[in-house]
Amino acid sequence: MERVLDEPVLVRRRNAGRSVGAAFAVMVALLAAAPFVVYPVFLMKALCFALFACAFNLLIGYVGLLSFGHALFFGWASYLTAYAAKAWALPPELAIIVGTATAAVLGIVAGGLAIRRQGIYFAMITLALAQMMYFFALRAKFTGGEDGIQGVPRGRLFGFFDLADKTTMYVFVLVVVLAGFLLIYRIINSPFGEVLKAIRENEQRTISLGYKTERYKLFAFVLSATLSGLAGSLNALVFQLASLTDVHWTMSGDVMLMTLIGGLGTVFGPVVGAFLVVAMQNYLASFGQWVLVIQGAVFVACVLVFRRGIVGEIAAALRVRL
Amino acid sequence: MPEAPALLAVKELEAWYGESHVLHGVTLDVRTGEVVTLLGRNGVGKTTTLKAVMGIIESRTGSVRFEGKELIRLSSDAIARSGIAFCPEERGIFSSLDVKENLLLPRQVRPGGLDLDRIFALFPNLRERLNSQGTKLSGGEQQMLAIGRILRTGARLLLLDEPTEGLAPVIVEQIGRTIGALKAQGFTILLVEQNFQFAAALADRYYVMEHGRIIDHFAAADLKASTEKLHDYLGV
Amino acid sequence: MFEIFGIPSQALFGQLLLGLINGSFYALLSLGLAVIFGMLNVINFTHGAQYMMGAFAAYLLLQHAGIGYWPALVIAPLLIGATGVVIERLFLRRLRKLDPLYGLMLTFGLALVIEGLFRNVYGSSGLPYQVPESLEGGRNLGFMFLPNYRAWVIVLSLAVCLATWYGIERTRLGSYLRAATENPVLVRAFGINVPRMVTLTYGFGVALAALAGVMAAPIYNVSPQMGSDLIIVVFAVVVIGGMGSIMGAIVTGFALGVVEGLTKVFFPEASNTVIFVIMAIVLLVRPAGLFGRTG
Amino acid sequence: MKFAATLAFAVAALFGTATAQAQDNVVKIGVLTDMSSLYADIGGPGSVAAAKLAVEDFNPAAHGMKVEVVSADHQNKPDIGASIARQWFDVDHVDVIVDVPTSSVALAVSEVAREKNKAFLVSGAASSDLTGPKCSPNTIHWTYDTWMLANGTGKAVVKTGGDTWFFLTSDYAFGHALERDTAAVVKANGGKVLGHALHPINTSDFSSFLLQAQASKAKIIGLANAGGDTINAIKQGAEFGITKGGQHFAGLLVFISDVNALGLNTAQGLVLTSTWYWDMTDANRAFTKRWQVSLPGKFPTMVQAGVYSSVIHYLKAVAALKSAEDGRAVVAKMKEIPTDDPLFGKGVVRADGRKIHNAYLFEVKKPEESKYPGDDFKLRATIPADEAFRPLKDGGCPLVGG
> How confident is the model over D297-330, as pLDDT tens digits?
899 999 999 999 999 999 999 999 999 999 999 9
Burial C101-129 (b: 16+ CB within 10 A, else e): bbbbbbbbbbbbbbbbbbbbebbbbbbbb
Q: Answer whether A292 sits within 8 Å of C115, measured CB to CB.
A: yes
Answer whether B touches D (≥3 Cβ pairs < 8 Å): no
Top residue of A19, A86, A241 to mutate, by most chain D CBs within 10 Å, is A241
DSSP symbol at B191: E
What string of DSSP letters covers D377-401?
EEEEEEE-HHHHS--GGGS--TTS-
What CATH number is given for D2-144+281-353 in this structure? 3.40.50.2300
Residues of chain C with pLDDT under 50: 1, 295
Kindly list the residues from chain C whose CB atom is less than 8 angstroms away from the CB atom of residue D258.
Answer: 125
Assigned domain for B19 exists: yes
Kindly list the residues from chain C whose CB atom is less than 8 angstroms away from the CB atom of residue B105.
Answer: 175-176, 179, 187, 190
| Bigger pLDDT: A163 vs B235 | A163
Kindly list the residues from chain D whose CB atom is less than 8 angstroms away from the CB atom of residue A45.
Answer: 83
Q: Residues 6 or more apart from C142 whose CB is under 8 A from it?
A: none
What string of DSSP letters covers D24-69?
-SEEEEEEEE-SSSTTTTTSHHHHHHHHHHHHHHH-GGGGT-EEEE
Kindly list the residues from chain B whose CB atom is less than 8 angstroms away from the CB atom of residue C188.
Answer: 56, 75-77, 80
Assigned domain for A192 exists: yes
pLDDT of residue D16: 42
Task: Quote the CA–CA distance of D153 and D183 in Å, as a whole number.
Answer: 11
Task: Quote the CA–CA distance of C273 and A244 in Å, as a whole number.
Answer: 16
Task: Quote the CA–CA distance of D285 and C27 in Å, as a whole number.
Answer: 50
Neighbours of A134 (CB within 10 A): 26
User: Three-state DSSP class for B31?
Assistant: strand
pLDDT of residue C294: 52
Q: Is residue A136 less than 8 Å (CB to CB) from chain C?
A: yes
What string of DSSP letters covers B154-189?
--SEEEEE-TTTT--HHHHHHHHHHHHHHHHTT-EE
Q: Which domain does B195 fall in, by range?
A: 6-91+155-234
For the domain that residue B64 is a member of, what is the CATH number? 3.40.50.300
User: Three-state DSSP class for D265?
Assistant: helix
Residue type, C203: G
Q: Answer whether D211 sits within 8 Å of C223, measured CB to CB.
A: no
- In angstroms, what CA-CA distances link D212 with B155, C144, C219, D203, D218? 68, 10, 18, 16, 10
> In which region does residue D37 sit, left (phi positive, over 0), alpha (psi from -120 to 50) or beta (all else)?
beta
Q: Answer whether A148 sits within 8 Å of D79, measured CB to CB.
A: yes
**ipTM of the complex in this document:** 0.85
pLDDT of residue A184: 95
Closest CA to B99 of B123, B71, B80, B76: B123
Q: Residues 6 or more apart from B156 whose CB is under 8 A from it?
A: B7, B32, B83, B110, B186, B187, B188
Provide the sign of the torsion angle of the four alpha carbons D45, D46, D51, D56, taken in this order.
positive
- Do C32 and C209 touch, CB atoms closer than 8 A? yes
Chain C neighbours, 3+ Cβ pairs < 8 A: A, B, D
**Domain range annotation of chain D:** 2-144+281-353, 147-274+358-385
Q: C77-100, pLDDT tens digit by residue?
A: 999 999 999 999 999 999 988 888
Q: C203-227, pLDDT tens digit by residue?
A: 999 999 999 999 999 888 788 888 9
Q: Which domain does A308 fall in, by range?
A: 10-318
Q: Residues 6 or more apart from D295 whose CB is under 8 A from it?
A: D45, D46, D49
Provide the sign of the torsion angle of the four alpha carbons D180, D186, D189, D190, taken in this order.
negative
A8 burial (CB, 10 Å; 0-12 / 13-18 / 19+) is: middle
Task: Quote the CA–CA distance of D383 and D359 in Å, as a whole number.
Answer: 5
CATH topology of domain D147-274+358-385: Rossmann fold (3.40.50)
What string of DSSP letters covers A66-111?
--S-THHHHHHHHHHHHHHHHTS---HHHHHHHHHHHHHHHHHHHH
Number of domains in chain A: 1
Among chain B, residues having any CB pair with chain C shorter than 8 Å are 54-56, 75-77, 79-81, 85-86, 88, 92, 94-97, 101, 104-107, 109, 150, 153
Strands (E), chain A: 149-150, 156-157, 161-162, 241-242
pLDDT of residue D402: 52
Number of domains in chain B: 1
The tens-digit pLDDT sequence of chain A (322 residues) is 333 344 443 344 445 677 888 889 989 999 888 888 888 888 999 999 999 999 999 999 999 999 999 999 999 999 999 999 999 999 999 999 999 999 999 999 999 999 988 888 898 889 989 999 998 998 888 888 777 898 888 888 888 888 888 889 999 999 999 999 999 999 999 999 999 999 988 888 899 888 999 999 999 999 999 999 999 999 999 989 898 889 999 899 999 999 999 999 999 999 999 999 999 887 776 666 688 899 999 999 999 998 899 999 998 888 888 8
Task: Quote the CA–CA distance of D190 and C33 in Å, as a whole number.
Answer: 54
pLDDT confidence bin for D11, thresholds 50/70/90: very low
For the domain that residue A231 is a member of, what is the CATH number? 1.10.3470
- Do A93 and A152 touch, CB atoms closer than 8 A? no
Above 60 in pLDDT, residue D100? Answer: yes
Q: Answer whether C220 sits within 8 Å of D205, measured CB to CB.
A: yes
Q: Is residue C194 less than 8 Å (CB to CB) from chain B?
A: yes
B100 burial (CB, 10 Å; 0-12 / 13-18 / 19+) is: middle
DSSP symbol at D160: T
Assigned domain for B101 exists: no
- Phi, psi dihedrals of residue C288, rounded to the nearest 5°: -85, 0
Complete edge-to-edge strand list for the sheet that includes strand B20-31: B20-31, B6-17, B60-66, B69-70
Kindly list the residues from chain C whose CB atom is less than 8 angstroms away from the CB atom of residue B160.
Answer: none
CATH topology of D2-144+281-353 equal to that of D147-274+358-385? yes
Kindly list the residues from chain C whose CB atom is less than 8 angstroms away from the CB atom of residue A139.
Answer: 269, 272
pLDDT of residue A15: 56
- Phi, psi dihedrals of residue D278, rounded to the nearest 5°: -65, -25
